[in-house]
Structure 1
Amino acid sequence: MPANKSLKDVPATDPVGDALQAAAAQAAQRWGPHLLRAQEREAIKTAASRGDHWLAQLLERQARGRYVENRLSEQFLELRWNKKGVDAIDPVTGCRYEVLSGTDSNLALHGQRMAGELFRMITF
């Protein structure tokens, strides 16, 4: 919770966020390495061949994240999607959403980067 916000700023219900969460879980289940673009596949292969297995895993998780976020942005056209800052904003309620893979490192990175923002984490 950002220092300038209180629990009163958290909505009691969030139907858009609930729908985003469900859609993210569904998209993540549909994702597979067969959906990698040629450039992504080559970067993962190169990293693995150099012995950088951590990097190969990271690149694959990032590709999965892009896939999920792209599916959500196609499905939730009513939201304002951003390249910087929070991923999506509901222009009706002002609620902010960040689409995250849910790994410890991803959650920590976003928690630090977005410390001043009040947003709902949409994890998959």
Structure 2
Amino acid sequence: MLQEAVSKAAKEWGPDKLSRQEERAIDDAKKAGEYWLARLLEREAQGRYVQVKVKEQFEHLHDFSLRKGVDVVDPATGTRYEILSGTESNLARHGRRMAGEFFRMLTF
């Protein structure tokens, strides 16, 4: 159910979901010729959107901690989940940051 919700939320996301602050940061990166950074900022914004949407749907069933550690813990089983964009850089960053954690990936 969580993977389905992650996939659905990712499909709903679009540039219209960016905050003004996110839009400015992306525009500034593009103006500076840092298109890679603009794309990274956009993917991070999409990830935050997906996390919030899934949390809204499942917070009555699961424990969410979107700022540190794993994103979701199923209190009934103890299973830990991380919501990831599935890009190579995103997987590498999480792999380094959470090397000692065992979690299931929910990718979009």
Name the TM-score class by shorter chain.
over 0.9
Report the CA distance between 1:119 and its aligned residue. Answer: 0.5
Secondary structure, aligned partner of 2:81? strand
Q: What's 1:76 paired with?
A: 58
Structure scoring higher RCO (CA < 8 A, sep ≥ 6) equals: 1
Does residue 22 (structure 1) correspond to residue 38 (structure 2)? The answer is no
Deviations 1:59-99 (A, max 9, x none): 00000000000001100112111121001111111000000
Runs of 4+ residues deviating >3 angstroms: none
Q: Whole-Å Cα distance in 1 between the matches of residues 33 and 93 of structure 2?
A: 25
Give the aligned residue type for 1:65: G
- Within-5 A mapping of 1:31-110: 31-77=13-59, 78-82=61-65, 83-110=67-94
Amino-acid identity (%): 58
Structure 1 stretches of 5 or more lacking a match?
Answer: 1-18
* Larger gyration radius, structure 1 or structure 2: 1
Report the CA distance between 1:109 and its aligned residue. Answer: 1.1
- Within-5 A mapping of 1:102-121: 102-121=86-105
Give the aligned residue type for 2:14: G
Give the aligned residue type for 1:110: H
TM-score, structure 1 as length reference: 0.83
